[in-house]
Amino acid sequence: MEATAAPFSSIVSSRQNLPSSSSIRASSPASLFLFQKNIANGNRKFKPPRSLPVRASSTSDSVTLLDYGAGNVRSIRNALRHLGFSIKDVQTPGDILNADRLIFPGVGAFAPAMDVLNKTGMAEALCTYIENDRPFLGICLGLQLLFESSEENGPVKGLGVIPGIVGRFDSSAGIRVPHIGWNALQVGKDSEILDDVGNRHVYFVHSYRAIPSDENKDWISSTCNYGESFISSIKRGNVHAVQFHPEKSGEVGLSVLRRFLHPKLPATQKPMEGKASKLAKRVIACLDVRTNDKGDLVVTKGDQYDVREQSNENEVRNLGKPVDLAGQYYKDGADEISFLNITGFRDFPLGDLPMIQVLRHTSKNVFVPLTVGGGIRDFTDASGRYYSSLEVAAEYFRSGADKISIGSDAVYAAEEFIKSGVKTGKSSLEQISRVYGNQAVVVSIDPRRVYVNHPDDVPYKVIRVTNPGPNGEEYAWYQCTVSGGREGRPIGAFELAKAVEELGAGEILLNCIDCDGQGKGFDIDLVKLISDSVGIPVIASSGAGTPRHFSEVFEKTNASAALAAGIFHRKEVPIQSVKEHLQEERIEVRI
Ligand code: 1PR
């Protein structure tokens, strides 16, 4: 049974309940004192933990979770429940010290996380727990916080358990930052929890990383290559941490959690040789969701954004139920799933509770990243109550989303930014990426191709097109639209992409109205233009009709992922066939 007590996150929000650090009963105050004095004195040489008595691993089916309320830990909760475990939420530092096994799924940014841990006494408790070699699994930021400090909005001091400084990936080395996607590990030592991973891909999403050094080499259990070698997991005794997200890494990720929870499990699978070696290209299934005329929430699909049947009834095309289809695509091998609430621009998204329900239900059984978009903006409802876009995003994250996709509102923000040259910090894009990190914010662009005769005809980026326009025009620009393609705006896709990258977008979902639903392939000219212009990952979207279209977009452009909808919904091409084709073409994918 799940513990009914409030998680630590809710305690943090009511500050008067915070325990003072002096009230902590550390299990080993003397060792903790020495440990911290060592760090405070700037002595960066880590002293190995003393051989303090290790608590025998519990056979109970509960696990303690440190959730300090900075983001989506619903996924890890769902994964733990899926594995048959109940969850005890940390409410006091004592809960950490008394845990049989502790999972710390760090989310958000380094500085606010350390701030909360320090102010609540959790930092001391964590150090003591780890120094006593008690079963611990840190995830993502939960790995980074173990290091001495981070450059993220810093330097900011970390827990100081492991020597080293967490720094940002160097995008000047030609890599896209954030590092988003499925990457391979180089497993260096027997780490137990990675026994089933072998050469398979796991899911990463981060901009900061710790790098291997002589001082921390004893901790490292695997590294990952992304422009450089960085630390993807650590293990010492019963202390584990992973930079990737096991709860988002499909069945392989679940096996990592299972092995942490059941340390004595025999190895079941021999690591596969010669498969994963680097960042894989992603194949994403997209579900455009809206309410049909009967009031049911359905997955629909447009033909150049027109989602109504060409029949007398003119009904909204109904291609299935969102939760069922998402579950199916997960089983079929989709690397990510996107939900776009395509009428969100005219309704208030939090009034659209079915979408929240869709996320909640989907995230119970789907263990790959989920993106949700549609209608993310500041909103004042009929009674005059104001909701910030941050509140809307927070509700989506709490309900199981990993990323938020912003369409129309990002166009307005970019226009404003280009006009004034000032980042106000107030746009939904800026606010959400500041609080949740830019890796959590996707900007969805809905451009339409506009042919011109001459590059100087418009004040936007014009390209020479591969296929001339209807009147022989050799050039085109890509006009951004809002409100589901209904309104063209005075900004091109190129200008928008550059502006939103500046404003804090972590990824671009690049649709194309002309190609949407046509099955004739992606707009290679457009995808090339945008993926060559920004340093963040670009998802090519609109127009996939065959597996060959996927290999084409990866061969001819720098897209990091390709997204399709219609061919998957109509069961014309299974996701697995796309992956097999990409493998045959020697394009690395997650299998
Ligand atoms: O502007 O923040 O409210 O966000 C609205 C979101 O809804 C945007 O991301 C926008 O792209 C999307 N949207 C709005 N109207 C439509 C529509 O179709 N009428 N769908 C719509 C856009 C585009 C793709 C589609 C691909 C692949 N769908 O995501 O799935 O084109 O399709 P295909 O493989 O079948 O060719 P806001």
**15 alpha carbon to ligand 1 midpoint, in Å?**
41
Ligand 1 and 307: CB distance under 6 A: yes
Q: Which residues pair with 148 in a beta bridge?
A: none
The band of 86, judged by pLDDT with boundaries at 50, 70 and 90, is very high
Residues in the chain: 591
CA angle (267, 188, 52) in 5-degree steps: 80
Cα–Cα dist 178/436, whole Å: 13
**305 alpha carbon to ligand 1 midpoint, in Å?**
7
245 is catalytic: yes
More confident residue, 278 or 495: 495
Strands 239-242 and 136-140: parallel
Top-ranked range on mean pLDDT: pick from 99-113, 428-442, 550-564: 550-564
Q: What is the DSSP string of 449-513?
A: EEEESSGGGSSS--EE-SS--TT---EEEEEEEETTTTEEEEEEHHHHHHHHHHHT--EEEE--T
Quick check: 44 pLDDT over 80? no
Quick check: 400 pLDDT over 70? yes
More confident residue, 537 or 41: 537
pLDDT for the residue numbered 319: 87
Ligand 1 and 181: CB distance under 6 A: no
Picking from 562, 78, 579, 546, the residue whose alpha carbon sits closest to that of residue 333 is: 579
Q: Label residue 122 left, alpha or beta by phi (over 0 means left) and psi (-120 to 50 means alpha).
A: alpha
Set 133, 195, 415, 446: catalytic member: 446
pLDDT for the residue numbered 263: 85
Residue carrying the six token digits 């691993």: 57
Q: Which residues pair with 405 in a beta bridge?
A: 373, 442
**210 alpha carbon to ligand 1 midpoint, in Å?**
37
Count of other CB atoms within 10 angstroms of residue 291:
17
Percent of the chain with pLDDT over 90: 69
pLDDT tens-digit readout, 351-385: 656 888 999 999 999 999 999 999 899 888 878 88
| Mean pLDDT to the nearest integer, 303-315 | 86
| Mean pLDDT to the nearest integer, 524-533 | 98
**407 alpha carbon to ligand 1 midpoint, in Å?**
9
**341 alpha carbon to ligand 1 midpoint, in Å?**
8
Ligand 1 and 566: CB distance under 6 A: yes
Cα–Cα dist 99/9, whole Å: 17
pLDDT for the residue numbered 34: 37
Quick check: 454 pLDDT over 50? yes
Output the 3-class SS for 345-414.
CCCCHHHCHHHHHHHHHHHHHCCCCEEEECCCCCEECCCCCEECHHHHHHHHHHCCCCEEEECHHHHHHH
Nearest CA to ligand 1 atom 31: 542
Q: Which residues pair with 285 in a beta bridge?
A: 337, 564
| Mean pLDDT to the nearest integer, 273-299 | 86
pLDDT tens-digit readout, 182-192: 999 999 877 88
CA angle (383, 389, 392) in 5-degree steps: 80
Count of other CB atoms within 10 angstroms of residue 163:
18
The band of 31, judged by pLDDT with boundaries at 50, 70 and 90, is very low
The band of 349, judged by pLDDT with boundaries at 50, 70 and 90, is low
Picking from 124, 106, 90, 120, the residue whose alpha carbon sits closest to that of residue 19 is: 120
Quick check: 10 pLDDT over 70? no
Note the Cα 497 to chain centre separation in Å: 19
pLDDT tens-digit readout, 150-201: 998 879 999 999 999 999 999 888 899 999 999 999 998 778 899 889 889 9
224 is catalytic: no
Ligand 1 and 369: CB distance under 6 A: no
Quick check: 11 pLDDT over 90? no
Set 89, 124, 127, 140: catalytic member: 140
| Mean pLDDT to the nearest integer, 9-17 | 36
In the DSSP assignment, the letter for residue 162 is E
Of the CA atoms within 13 Å of residue 521, those in its CB half-sphere come to 12
Ligand 1 atom, smallest distance to 410 CA: 2
Cα–Cα dist 307/305, whole Å: 6
Give the three-class secondary structure for 32: helix
| Mean pLDDT to the nearest integer, 257-276 | 73
- Is-contact 143 104, C-beta < 8 A? no
Cα–Cα dist 424/583, whole Å: 45
| Mean pLDDT to the nearest integer, 3-7 | 40
In the DSSP assignment, the letter for residue 560 is S
Of the CA atoms within 13 Å of residue 462, those in its CB half-sphere come to 15
Q: Which residues pair with 373 in a beta bridge?
A: 340, 405
pLDDT for the residue numbered 295: 82
Ligand 1 and 437: CB distance under 6 A: no
Count of other CB atoms within 10 angstroms of residue 179:
23
pLDDT for the residue numbered 306: 87
